[in-house]
Amino acid sequence: MTGKPAHPDEAQAGLARHLLHQMLRVRRLEEKCVELYSEAKIRGFLHVYIGEEAVAAGVLETLEAEDAVVATYREHGHALLRGVPAGAILAEMYGYVQGCCRGRGGSMHLFDAGTRFFGGNAIVAGGLPLAVGLALADKMAGRARVTVCFFGEGAVAEGEFHESLNLAALWQLPVLFCCENNLYAMGTALGRSESQTDIALKAAGYEVAAWAVDGMDALAVHEAARRAVDAVRSGGGPHFLELRTYRFRAHSMFDPERYREKTEVAHWQERDPINLLRQALETAGHLTEAQWAGLQSDADTEVAEAVAFAEAGTPEPPEDLARFVYSEVHSEAHSERGPE
Amino acid sequence: MKTTYREAIRAAIRDALQRDDRVFLMGEDVGAYGGCFAVSLGLFEEFGPERIRDTPLSESGFVGAGIGAALGGMRPIVEIMTVNFSLLALDQIVNNAATLLHMSGGQFNVPLVIRMTTGAGRQLGAQHSHSLEGWYAHIPGLRILAAATLEDARGMLWTALQDPDPVLIFEHGTLYNMPGELDDDAGPVDITAAAIRRPGTDVSLITYGGTLPAVLDAAGQLSAEGVDAEVLDLRVLRPLDEAAVLATVARTHRAVVVDEGWRSGSLSAEISARITEASFYDLDAPVGRVCSAEIPLPYAKSQELAALPSVERIVRAAREAVGRSG
Ligand SMILES: Cc1ncc(C[n+]2csc(CCOP(=O)(O)OP(=O)(O)O)c2C)c(N)n1
């Protein structure tokens, strides 16, 4: 758990640099969100992913465009790396109609049909049954797609977790469960909520192939996810990854963090996934100063452009308030689809 | 003494824990975290982990455990973070807590109190903002309370704990920071009757919970226009204090119901129906209603505000009832 990532070899260096860039993009976006929150540009609940970037970066890299992703309220990074533009994400948090959900969802409810990103669910464990259903549809239609479902270890206590694992295994559905074990559900440490804290073992109890991975090591996450996704796609039934990670920031902007020691946070920060991969690349001679500077300025530019996009946004017109409570059957979205 | 709605509830919980050692508080993050809305802050340190009991994320599991503990002789206070999450415990609340007494031929009563936050106004989006207390008010076997004042925040809990049957107390999220004065010896209050918060003669504004402040504002505005509104706070959503509703209508002959829930199939519909059933010939105008827009509540501030009952909409509805629209 405390090991250093292996030095990427020449062949892997390109992938490693790409994952480093992906993590940086998320980090910069999240840092900006925190800043915008304190400026009151973003309101409501805001949960950032800082410290956990290796998980989304490693897993999402293994997916195809037609695969599906289900995530939680801590999903800005997942949305971004799945391909939702940073501007649409930020505009959503500003509550503007240019946001990926017209400003109706906010930080916790990012959805994007184009990238098959199914939210943004703020009911703990609420996304698991959805993912099972998406996978069931694929299986019944004979599509070789994978549905990836992200959730925190807090969800393991919910009935929906157990019901979902059981169904996925019983019906051998093409779903990859990714448990982001950051050790705390708000202020409740895993050991204070579970009699058995080995989560992969629990999943195995449902006959779901499961293994635990160092969630601070982007390459290790990627390798594990690649194996799991390949197995799921080729009909191997549901798989489960327990990604051992840590959130460096408070649960949300309202959390005074009374439940953990600063020293514990500092200890985990020594294994910052971005620093770890950067160092490994540098040591192996695969990342020059100029390359690192380039990755950073790319990420900074992307975020700056996203902020500008969001700043220029406008609220949804009041007369649209009641739209989409029911489907607008005659809308373009429907007619575009044509006869099926 | 100066206090807030949040502190008043905390004082009520502390008081109950001190007075009765069968009482304990149980829920998600009520302990080490200090309560998701900081209601129970400090109680974990004061009473320890047995009586301020953190639970896993298992709404159905721990609400069911509260029912069992109540059957076993304890007096649990179960906190559910918000009414939205209580849907994961609906089975336990509706199929067990509410039915066991009747189903067992009067043998097994469930002396359980469940507290939860309800309502919108904080830009929390559609999974954290709905007002579903009207649904619970549909269920025979439950007593449903909505605390809208500091006195009720302080006083409803103990009386609810004395009730032999399950009581749900709804706390509106926008009220927690509400400051005010509370008597030093404030204590238990009645949990059977509605209360007149402002007497008046021209129109009855009937509401409860989080919309009471807006209704009182509206009444103030109306009085400047020469309309004397009476404000009735229902306090108890089930069983409804129908006599109080009919009595205010008998005085003013006009009624507007203000309910943050949706209008269709709602508590406001129930109240309107009761008025027309029992007081039709007292009425000088149709019963008006101000409710939330029939949509999943949006995040964006402008749209959230547009969806919720506002002072302006309440004033307009009252004017219409007294025939001063336009
Ligand atoms: C059903 C339900 N219960 C409670 C909550 C309140 N809540 C929001 S996040 C959270 C902690 C969840 O922790 P975990 O699943 O480990 O995810 P993390 O926040 O650590 O990413 C809680 C209790 C909720 N949103 N949904």
Can you spell out the DSSP letters for A276-340? HHHHHHHHTT---HHHHHHHHHHHHHHHHHHHHHHHT--PPPGGGTTTTSS--TTSHHHHHH---
> Does the pLDDT of residue A334 top 80, yes or no?
no
A54: closest CA of chain B, how far (Å): 25
Third-level CATH fold of B2-181: Rossmann fold (3.40.50)
Q: Where are the domains of chain B?
A: 2-181, 195-322
> Per the structure block, which two tokens stand in for A155?
């969800």
Cβ-defined contact of A122 to B60 (cutoff 8 Å): no
Q: Catalytic site residue B128?
A: yes
List Cβ neighbours of A286 (8 Å cut-off, separation of 6 or more): A8, A10, A13, A16, A17
Return the ligand 1 atom nearest residue A74 CA: 21
Per the CB < 8 A criterion, the answer to whether B201 and B254 are in contact is no
A192: closest CA of chain B, how far (Å): 8
Q: What mean pLDDT, rounded, does chain B reach?
A: 96
Name the CA dihedral angle for B140, B58, B294, B203, rounded to a multiple of 10 degrees.
Answer: 50
Share of chain A above pLDDT 90, in %: 90
Binding site membership of A121 for ligand 1 (Cβ less than 6 Å): no
Evaluate whether B2-181 and B195-322 have a shared fold. yes
> In this structure, are strands B195-198 and B229-233 parallel, antiparallel, or unpaired?
antiparallel
- pLDDT at position A338: 34
A127: closest CA of chain B, how far (Å): 13
> Does the pLDDT of residue A335 top 50, yes or no?
no
- pLDDT at position B248: 98
> Does the pLDDT of residue B86 top 70, yes or no?
yes
Return the ligand 1 atom nearest residue B36 CA: 6
pLDDT tens-digit profile of B123-134?
Answer: 999 999 999 999
> Does the pLDDT of residue A69 top 80, yes or no?
yes
Instruction: Tell me the three state secondary structure of residue A97.
Output: coil
Structural domains in chain A? 10-315 (3.40.50.970)
Can you spell out the DSSP letters for B153-213? HHHHHHHHHHSSS-EEEEEEGGGTT-EEE--TT-----SS--EEEE--SSEEEEE-GGGHH
Interface confidence: ipTM more than 0.85: no
Of the partner residues B28, B58, B122, the one whose CB lies closest to the CB of residue A159: B58
pLDDT tens-digit profile of A156-213?
Answer: 999 999 999 999 999 999 999 999 999 999 999 999 999 999 999 999 999 999 999 9
| Rounded mean pLDDT, B240-255 | 98
Cβ-defined contact of B54 to A193 (cutoff 8 Å): yes
Give A138 Cα–ligand 1 centroid separation in angstroms.
28
| Rounded mean pLDDT, B54-73 | 93
Per the CB < 8 A criterion, the answer to whether B10 and B43 are in contact is yes
Question: pLDDT category, A331, cuts 50, 70, 90?
Answer: very low
Return the ligand 1 atom nearest residue B85 CA: 1
Cβ-defined contact of B125 to A122 (cutoff 8 Å): yes
**Which residues of chain B make contact with A45, given a CB cutoff of 8 A?**
124, 128
- pLDDT at position A314: 98
Question: pLDDT category, B151, cuts 50, 70, 90?
Answer: very high
pLDDT tens-digit profile of A4-53?
Answer: 777 788 889 999 999 999 999 999 999 999 999 999 999 999 999 999 99
Question: pLDDT category, A327, cuts 50, 70, 90?
Answer: confident
pLDDT tens-digit profile of A116-166?
Answer: 999 999 999 999 999 999 999 999 999 999 999 999 999 999 999 999 999
Name which residue sits closest to atom 8 of ligand 1, judged by CA: A124
Give B129 Cα–ligand 1 centroid separation in angstroms.
16
Q: What mean pLDDT, rounded, does chain A reach?
A: 94
Residue of B28, B79, B128, B304 with catalytic role: B128
Euclidean distance between CA atoms A112 and B316, whole angstroms:
39
| Number of residues that make up chain B | 326
**Which residues of chain B make contact with A255, given a CB cutoff of 8 A?**
33
Question: pLDDT category, A326, cuts 50, 70, 90?
Answer: confident
> Per the structure block, which two tokens stand in for B151?
């006195």
> Does the pLDDT of residue A90 top 90, yes or no?
yes
- pLDDT at position A84: 98
Cβ-defined contact of A95 to B302 (cutoff 8 Å): yes
- pLDDT at position A336: 32
Q: Catalytic site residue B151?
A: no
Angle at A152 between CA A150 and CA A158, to 5 degrees: 105
Neighbours of B121 (CB within 10 A): 19
| Rounded mean pLDDT, A61-67 | 98
- pLDDT at position B325: 59
Binding site membership of A74 for ligand 1 (Cβ less than 6 Å): yes
Give B121 Cα–ligand 1 centroid separation in angstroms.
21
Neighbours of B127 (CB within 10 A): 22
| Rounded mean pLDDT, B304-324 | 96
Third-level CATH fold of B195-322: Rossmann fold (3.40.50)
Give A188 Cα–ligand 1 centroid separation in angstroms.
10
> Does the pLDDT of residue B275 top 80, yes or no?
yes
- pLDDT at position B303: 97
- Please state the pTM of the whole predicted model: 0.89
Question: pLDDT category, A330, cuts 50, 70, 90?
Answer: low
Which residue, among B274, B278, B283, has the nearest Cα to B234 in the 3D structure? B274
Can you spell out the DSSP letters for B14-57? HHHHHH-TTEEEEETTSSTT--TTSTTTTHHHHH-TTTEEE--S
Return the ligand 1 atom nearest residue A182 CA: 20
- pLDDT at position A11: 80
